[in-house]
Amino acid sequence: MVKSDSAAVRRRKGIVIALGLVVLILVGGFYWLRQGSERAQAQRAPNRAVPVTVVSAARQDVPIYLTGLGSVQATFTVGIHSQVDGKLDQVLFTEGQHVKKGDLLAKIDPRFFEAALSSAKAKQAQDAANLVSYEKDMVRLKELMAKNYSTQQAIDQQQAKVDSTKAAIQADKAAIDSAQTQLDYASITAPSDGRMGMRLIDPGNVVHAGDQANIAVLTLTQPIAVVFTLPERTLDDVREAMARGAVQVIAYDRDNKKALGTGTLQTIDNMIDQATGTYRLKASFPNEDERLWPGEFVNARLQVSTATNAIVIPNAAVQRGPDGLFTWVITPKNIAEPHPIETGPAAGAITIVTSGLNEGDKVVTDGQYKLQTGAVVTITTTAPGPAGSS
């Protein structure tokens, strides 16, 4: 009875295994037939066209710009501080105020300097009175000398008193000038037009002529300067542009999108920084609207030349491959072909092509990543040709 049950189990296992093998064979056969059918259909199906956007290479005059990162600098910056020792009595400017040259900004307690000036004037008056007395005595001695009632020695001694008093009066004048200068320094005035910064010392503090701290800082921002750098390879181009006349410089914000002001290139620094391979330039801007602020970082763009009747294409059409730069050109039969090109400088959104393209060639600006040599394309969009270099 036991043997009969074991045989039945073995038969059922064999049937299950056999059915499994049959299922595997059927599935594998179906998959092979399906793959073969798809390969055959793929071989019979024509190549699908690749959708691309194209633009025609055009000829136009292109201004050539150089752009360098720089910073805005005030025409000059003056630290306002006291030239005499004393208590800061009054601060007469408002933070951020525009001032004119000579405007009163602050006052030092003047009483000590007024007293010194009064003392110097009194000393001069005293010496002047003595001089009058000595000169009168001199006249009398000379009269007595004529009558033989005086000696030459007495006259010489009196003349020495007169001369000494005259010298003392000259010294008194110098002392008065010094005291007057000290008193004038107690009134602190603006050395030039400009804008006042924040107040750094409050009234009531004692200040000294030797203090490093300023009461405030005055900056002249109209006009204002931008100092920027360019690679040394551009030096000849910039010098040639300056030789032709005034070179316009436009200052843009950090994102290089918003124009902040238009000025003129003033000077090129007299040496190249060998560590960075750059040189410095300075441009002046009227800055009437004060959009340029001291310490601000800007992009300075200057036009050095104009490429006349140059072939240009959008920057997006320029591709880089293992053999250098190239662009995809679409033939009249809508076939994509890579054309090696040589380029000049980029000018904003366009690039000058010096060789490898002809005017009117259709170049691909979008969809290049799907292209292969000889690929059939369908033009989905024809973008407008290059028009500007802003």
Copy the structure tokens of residue 276.
Answer: 């960075």
pLDDT, residue 256, reads 85
- State pLDDT tens for residues 182-197: 999 999 999 999 999 9
Rounded Cα gap, residues 167 and 87, in angstroms: 35
The third-level CATH classification (topology) of the domain covering 81-216 is: OB fold (Dihydrolipoamide Acetyltransferase, E2P) (2.40.50)
pLDDT over 90 at 65, yes or no: no
Cα-trace Rg, the chain: 46
Rounded Cα gap, residues 146 and 191, in angstroms: 62
- State pLDDT tens for residues 213-237: 999 999 999 999 999 999 999 999 9
Rounded Cα gap, residues 150 and 184, in angstroms: 50
DSSP symbol at 247: -
Rounded Cα gap, residues 264 and 69, in angstroms: 16
Please tell me whether residue 361 adopts helix, strand or coil conformation: coil
Residue that wins the pLDDT comparison between 291 and 22: 291
**Claim: this prediction has a pTM higher than 0.95:** no
Nearest to 325 by CA among 306, 285, 353, 297: 353
Residue range 315-323: average pLDDT?
88
- State pLDDT tens for residues 280-295: 999 999 999 999 999 9
Pick the CATH number of 51-60+310-382 from 1.10.357.140, 2.40.420.20, 3.90.25.10, 1.10.10.10: 2.40.420.20
Rounded Cα gap, residues 172 and 167, in angstroms: 9
Pick the CATH number of 66-75+219-307 from 2.60.120.10, 2.30.40.10, 2.40.30.170, 1.25.40.10: 2.40.30.170
In contact, 263 and 249? CB cutoff 8 Å:
yes
Using CB atoms within 10 A of its CB, is residue 333 exposed (0-12), middle (13-18) or buried (19+)? exposed
- State pLDDT tens for residues 100-111: 999 999 999 999
CA distances in angstroms from 328 to 57, 80, 165, 269, 322, listed in the order given:
12, 64, 100, 44, 15
Rounded Cα gap, residues 362 and 290, in angstroms: 46
